[in-house]
């Protein structure tokens, strides 16, 4: 599987999942992921069954904390 990995330095009030989803939507990062995802799908169309795109992973680096695994990270699944 191929994943899009993008890190962001947005300063948010919270880095919980709901806040990340809101930031991704309001900043258009979900549209960005869809465009990049379509590019990956087209690029890999010749490979296997063409379903190698695993989605987008966003790392909000200001919210990442080794004491709280997963905080500041969001996975967007590919649309089918």
Whether the pTM exceeds 0.85: the reply is no
Give per-residue pLDDT as tens, 20-53: 999 999 999 999 988 988 888 887 776 656 567 7
Measured CA to CA, the distance from residue 62 to residue 64 in angstroms comes to: 6
Q: What percent of the chain is predicted at pLDDT more than 70?
A: 90
pLDDT at 71: 92
Active site residues: 6
Write out the H or E segment, with its range, that includes residue 4. strand 2-8
> How does the average pLDDT of the chain come out, rounded?
86
Task: From 42, 59, 58, select the one nearest 50 (Cα to Cα).
Answer: 42
The answer to whether 14 and 64 are in contact (CB under 8 A) is: no
């Amino acid at each position: 599987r191929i994943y899009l990995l993008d890190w962001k330095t947005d300063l948010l009030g919270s880095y919980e999942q709901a806040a990340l989803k809101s930031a991704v939507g309001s900043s258009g990062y979900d549209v960005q992921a869809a465009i990049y995802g379509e590019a990956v799908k087209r690029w890999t169309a010749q490979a296997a069954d063409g379903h190698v795109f695993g989605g987008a992973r966003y790392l909000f680096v200001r919210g990442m904390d080794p004491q709280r695994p997963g905080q500041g990270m969001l996975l967007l699944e590919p649309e089918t």
